[in-house]
Amino acid sequence: MNVLMMTNTFTPLAGGVTRSVVSFTDQLRRLGHRVLVVAPVFEHMPRDETDVVRVPAIQHFSGSDFSVVLPVGPFLSSAIDAFQPGLVHAHHPFLLGGTALRVARRRGLPLVFTHHTMYERYTHYVPGDSPALKRFAVTLSTSYANLCDAVVAPSESVAELLRRRGVRRPISVVPTGIDPARLAAGDGRGFRADHGIAPGAHVVGHLGRLAPEKNLPFLTEAVARFLERRRDAMFLVAGWGPSEETLAESFAEAGLADRLVLAGPIRPERVADAYAAMNVFAFASLSETQGLVLTEAMAAGVPVVALDAPGAREVVRDGRNGRLLAPESSPEAFAAALGWAAVADPARLAHEAHATAARFTLERCAAKLLDVYRALPTGQPSHPPEAYEAWRGAIRMLRAQWDLVRTVTSENEGPPRR
């Protein structure tokens, strides 16, 4: 099977979409399939790439790390001709997602779309954010999904939401898989030593992009309250983003600056070490489509305290592998849940966490994706013209709202991990 993957984000950018594309591409290739990835040019990208086509892009769009794809010429068509794809898999509903739609239509190929992001959760970056702008973001992804032959949702919660929004195409739940064995082999003691954390400290950990949509003010207050009650506790934060300075200031104001460790972006080979350095993983985001970092933490045997939201509710089993709190819970309730995890039986929590992670192996998830591919219709499908017109209208508005392009296409990405 020859699969054409088209994505606006790829290596060296770190983040959920990049990890998903890389993980599935590598696993499909291991299974004997060919995958051609089409992605923008980025600074510091690998020099030697196999079956990867980079398209021209404007670097550092509006001061960001993101690259905006420029109109592509005949060279892309030539590369696709030589590859002879059997299907097209898009990972965004715009930019190269639009190119994916045109390629599929012109060549009579089936089109798959993975709905990675709740785009309406990112409109707060745009001046004049409004309910109308959020509706536009929903229309953009929903209408694009209805132009595809199959839609992939990273979690059942997202699949249900897409159906309620009017997606009529077949939706399959396919999470991004993980490698439990690798994540379970981290050097937590070494990571602690590298960051000045005592071997016996109780470490509340967090890994991810540090940005407003991650509900960090809530998380900061909750963890600070817990640290005030437990003198041997530390807060280890691995990641990068615009809210990093605000987070540090909040801990300084609370008199807890010496109990906060900002590790910055983590190199891929040290991610398992970071998880292994934690006693509990704290997560308050309400904007996820899949709790990938939660699954990774559990593969390392680390229990999770999280708010009930898409992604988290598929992973966290309240009272078994952590605590899952109502989304309207107070920081005080979250701090109490961290206290529960601190005194619970660590061996039992680790056992339950490992069992949960085993359901999300890359092998299982890739097999589900292949089932989606094999069920695709043959021949040129017909699509409702209203879906195409809705998508076209949303694209026109997107071009006028370049701030949204900068934000929603970064997909919680940070700088390349160092």
CATH code for the domain of 143:
3.40.50.2000
Summarize pLDDT for 270-328 with one digit per residue, the tens.
999 999 999 999 999 988 888 899 999 999 999 999 999 988 999 999 999 999 999 99
Predicted pLDDT of residue 130? 59
- In the prediction, which pLDDT does 198 show? 97
Question: Both 356 and 366 in a single domain?
Answer: no
- The overall average pLDDT reported for the chain is 87
Q: Is residue 418 part of a domain?
A: no
Q: How many residues does the chain have?
A: 418
Give the per-residue pLDDT at 61: 44
**Cα–Cα–Cα angle for 201, 205, 210, rounded to 5 degrees:** 140
386 vs 164: which has the higher pLDDT: 164
Q: Average pLDDT of 158-181?
A: 95
Alpha-carbon distance of 358 to 152, in angstroms, equals: 21
Domain count, the chain: 2
Beta bridge partners of 262: 237
- CB atoms under 10 Å from CB of 65, counted, come to 19
Number of other residues whose CB lies within 10 A of the CB of residue 317: 16
- The model's confidence at residue 268, banded by pLDDT at 50, 70 and 90, is confident
Question: Are residues 286 and 166 part of one domain?
Answer: no
Provide the pLDDT for residue 369.
Answer: 98
Please tell me which residue, 18 or 392, carries the higher pLDDT value.
18
Residues 264 and 195 in one domain: yes
Q: pLDDT tens across 235-266, in order?
A: 999 998 889 999 999 999 999 999 999 999 89
pLDDT, tens only, 385-408: 677 777 776 666 655 554 544 454
Residue 65 has pLDDT above 60, yes or no: no
Q: What is the DSSP letter of 206?
A: E
Do 134 and 51 sit in the same domain of this protein?
Answer: yes
Query: Is position 417 within any domain?
Result: no
Instruction: Give the pairing type, strands 280-283 and 202-207.
Output: parallel
Residue 172 lies in a domain: yes
How far apart (Å, rounded) are the C-alpha atoms in residues 82 and 399? 32
The answer as to whether 416 is a domain residue is: no
Rounded to the nearest angstrom, the gap between the alpha carbon of residue 371 and the centroid of all alpha carbons in its chain is: 22
pLDDT number for residue 346: 97
How many angstroms from the chain centroid is the CA of residue 62?
A: 22
Sign of CA dihedral 369, 374, 380, 385: negative
What pLDDT band is residue 122 in, cutting at 50, 70 and 90? low
pLDDT digits (tens, 9 = 90+) for 30-47: 999 999 999 988 878 888
Q: How many CB atoms lie within 10 A of CB 388?
A: 16
Domain assignment present for residue 286? The answer is yes
Secondary structure letter of residue 361 according to DSSP: B
Range of the domain at 112: 2-177+362-408
Q: Domain check: are 57 and 136 in the same one? A: yes
- Closest by CA to 150, choosing from 173, 116, 175, is 173
Angle 174-211-392 from CA coordinates, rounded to 5°: 60
Residue 45 shares a structural domain with residue 127: yes
Neighbours of 117 (CB within 10 A): 25
C-alpha–C-alpha distance, residues 382 and 319, integer Å: 48
pLDDT at 217 (0 to 100): 95
Backbone Cα Rg of the chain: 21
pLDDT beyond 80 at 14? no
Final residue before a domain boundary, out of 320, 337, 360: 360
The answer to whether residues 104 and 236 belong to one domain is no
One domain, residues 355 and 369: no
pLDDT at 138 > cutoff 90: no
Query: What is the tally of helices (H) and strands (E) in the chain?
Result: 16, 15
Residue 51 gets the label, from left (phi > 0), alpha (psi -120 to 50) or beta, of: left
In a domain, 413, yes or no: no
Sign of CA dihedral 155, 157, 158, 163: positive
- Res. 218: pLDDT tops 50: yes
The reported pLDDT for the residue numbered 361 is 97
Q: Does 81 lie in the same domain as 208?
A: no
Query: In this structure, are 145 and 259 located in the same domain?
Result: no
C-alpha–C-alpha distance, residues 204 and 251, integer Å: 14
Residue type, 179: D
Residue at which a domain ends, from 323, 340, 360: 360
Residue 58 lies in a domain: yes
What is the pairing mode between strands 68-69 and 57-58?
antiparallel
| Domain assignment of residue 125, yes or no | yes
Same domain, 202 and 112: no
In eight-state DSSP terms, residue 162 is: H
> φ and ψ at 136, to 5 degrees?
-60, -45
Contact 264, 238 (CB under 8 A): yes
Tokens of 321: 């592998």
Crossing angle (nearest 10°) for helices 244-253 and 216-229: 30
pLDDT band at 56 (very low <50, low <70, confident <90, very high): confident
How confident is the model over 66-108, as pLDDT tens digits? 445 555 667 888 999 999 999 999 999 888 898 899 899 889 9
Give me the pLDDT at residue 64, please.
Answer: 41
295 close to 357: Cβ distance less than 8 angstroms:
yes
Least confident of 24-28, 215-219, 230-234, 401-405: 401-405
What's this model's pTM, rounded to 2 decimal places? 0.84
Same domain, yes or no: 244 and 337: yes
Relative orientation angle of helices 16-30 and 362-374, to the nearest 10 degrees: 80
